[in-house]
Structure 1
């Protein structure tokens, strides 16, 4: 695709990156076949190809409009189009650039700006978010359905982490911001599983939100501050030889693995960020790497039917496909078939709060597909998907690592 970048962007890092991405697009339209919003809305501008044209127009200096913002806001950033694209168009990074350009040029009305400001202030801070969730549970009947649906029941208290200092291998874990409040047992279960595999897992309290919340709400300067804080917190452990940084929420995993890209133009952090990205691991990669040892630990049993929802961030972002499913089968679960497993459930971070109608339709479609095989439980790999599906599901929705923890016994 030919793109004549306007003078104001031509020599910027964002303009150069966007130009390289746009030149790869050949207008084929294969991406529309796997785009959830195009499938629902049927509008070319609500598919990747249409949004690419809108971003191209922005970069060429054409006026920014409310229409452009609407169609870019409606994108889930699921990156299913990237898995389909035969030309390797890096759509996710292009969308980040386009959204930031719009945010810089076009002021949002208060009705849109206020909820976004609240989300990027409260969600990344566990203390604030925890207090908000506690209040929300008290006043749930008075809340709008889009918010009330996001409030799961109070979580069961996390089982204890294994004692430290028992293993020679050590890995860091991202505690995150939302997950410790909504599902504190996920990281604890990961620590127990890895502990039985001879790996000590620990968290660094000085680290915090991975930066994804603020990044996807187009506050990229604040997101980069989150990234730098985490790098500073983790770096002493990296220098001490920590083997990996395990991120149990696949949405956060995509963000951490992108640190090298986000700070590529920061001379003080570029090299460190690239190192952190290279160390980032999804727990499925770590557990699958210890398959022989895991086989000796699993308690043989037939554990019934299970439907696995593979988050977009796992299959399209991290490019991990089939690994979790294989681990669950090894634990004795019978995995049911899930139609259109490549399509998003509608969670997409804060999307389900800001675009509740589209998110609700996608969740209903996903739950229909997940329930078709009559499973006893639904498993997933991302806290956002878990809470979003849980709000509409009649079955329990669990993180897959918790099921592995129980299977080991």
Structure 2
């Protein structure tokens, strides 16, 4: 695509990066066929090609409007379009730039600003855990829509005490330890069963995704640097502190950590450290080949009962291009894991804070997704991201769990 950047953006890091991405787009329209919002709304400007056109106009000097902002807000950043694009357009990074430039010129209504501020300051903060505990204590009294955002409290079980030669770092993030602490405990127990110790970090926190995607990119970078500082002794460590990987069990976080090297590429103090951290980052699903091989003898002759309907999060299948690992390797252990034949590639509508900011679209996508998953008559619905798990559970009575929790329960049995 031919571009002609306005003087305002020529030679700037955002302008240079955006222009390189725009020049790859040939406006073929393949992306519209797999865009969830285009399928629901039928508006070209609510599809990737239309949004690219809007961002190109802004970069070329057109004044963005509130309508421009709304079309970009409605994007789930599911990156399905990247999986479809034959030209390799890096849409995810382009829309981050586009939102940043548009928000700098288009003021948001006060109510919208307040909600976005509450999300980006509340979710990653230390106050989230006590608020979630309070919500769980009175969950039965909450109105339906709010109750759907508060998962039931479950006993997470014990953290394994054995120490192995192989060690990985397991960052605990911000919301997951409060909403579903069992995921981290199950991860540690499953890794322990195959001879890997999961080390917890005494410092660190949110991966930065919440603030970054709510367009507080500078504050997100502060969180990223804090995590790098907290993890660095383990990255550089020797002996008992040396780790072979940074394993993240929420795909929405692992895709962000893998992007640290890109986001901090121009930071003279952190660029190299960020690149190294991103190189060590692994989504937990990437360890499944080792986990499956290590547990094969434990499951020999046993077949866990019930169909597991697996929903692959967008951050896993599109953001990280990781597909088929859960189905294949849990299947090798005897689990009956099935993926919906229809629209398995489409977003469930969670998309981080999207389900709060765009609830009507999010609920339509959730119900559409659940229709396909429940057609499999599953005993359990499984996924790989806390956001998807919570969002899907809010719309159905079938248990929705992380796949590692399902595996951990089968091991215990």
TM-score for the superposition, normalised by structure 1: 0.96
Report the equivalent of 1:151: 150
Instruction: Confirm whether residue 131 of structure 1 aligns to residue 130 of structure 2.
Output: yes
Shift of 1:298: 2.7
Q: State which drifts further: 301-310 or 288-297.
A: 288-297
Unpaired stretches in structure 2, ≥5 consecutive residues: none
Report the equivalent of 2:200: 203
Shift of 1:220: 0.2
> 1:285-364 maps to which residues of 2 (within 5 A)?
285-298=286-299, 300-338=302-340, 339-364=342-367
Q: State which drifts further: 84-93 or 321-330.
A: 321-330
SS in 1 for 2:392: helix
SS in 2 for 1:348: coil
**How big is each residue's C-alpha offset from its partner over 1:335-365, in whole Å with a ceiling of 9 and x where there is no partner?**
3340210000000000000000000000000
Report the equivalent of 1:371: 374
CA distance in 2, matches of 1:326, 1:32: 29
CA distance in 2, matches of 1:137, 1:290: 33
Report the equivalent of 1:407: 410
Contact 2:188 2:198 in 1 (8 A): yes
Shift of 1:40: 0.2
How many residue pairs match? The answer is: 406
CA distance in 1, matches of 2:165, 2:203: 23
**How big is each residue's C-alpha offset from its partner over 1:341-391, in whole Å with a ceiling of 9 and x where there is no partner?**
000000000000000000000000000000011111100000000000000
Q: Using a 3 Å threshold, how does the CA distance of structure 1 residues 145 and 90 change in structure 2: closer, same or farther?
A: farther
CA distance in 1, matches of 2:338, 2:204: 38
Contact 1:24 1:88 in 2 (8 A): yes
Report the equivalent of 2:34: 34
Q: State which drifts further: 362-371 or 57-66.
A: 57-66
Shift of 1:236: 0.8
Shift of 1:144: 7.1
What root-mean-square deviation, in Å, do the aligned CA atoms of Structure 1 and Structure 2 show? 1.5
Report the equivalent of 2:76: 76
Shift of 1:177: 0.6
> 1:9-408 maps to which residues of 2 (within 5 A)?
9-125=9-125, 127-137=126-136, 146-153=145-152, 155-164=153-162, 166-240=163-237, 241-298=242-299, 300-338=302-340, 339-408=342-411
Q: Using a 3 Å threshold, how does the CA distance of structure 1 residues 173 and 85 change in structure 2: closer, same or farther?
A: same
CA distance in 1, matches of 2:288, 2:339: 23
CA distance in 2, matches of 1:262, 1:345: 26
Shift of 1:293: 1.9
Contact 1:122 1:129 in 2 (8 A): yes
Q: Using a 3 Å threshold, how does the CA distance of structure 1 residues 259 and 337 change in structure 2: closer, same or farther?
A: closer
Runs of 4+ in 1 over 3 A off after TM superposition: 134-148
SS in 1 for 2:9: helix
Q: Using a 3 Å threshold, how does the CA distance of structure 1 residues 5 and 132 change in structure 2: closer, same or farther?
A: same
**How big is each residue's C-alpha offset from its partner over 1:252-271, in whole Å with a ceiling of 9 and x where there is no partner?**
01000000000011111111
Contact 2:191 2:291 in 1 (8 A): no
SS in 1 for 2:177: helix
Q: Using a 3 Å threshold, how does the CA distance of structure 1 residues 157 and 137 change in structure 2: closer, same or farther?
A: closer
Contact 1:152 1:387 in 2 (8 A): yes
SS in 1 for 2:351: coil
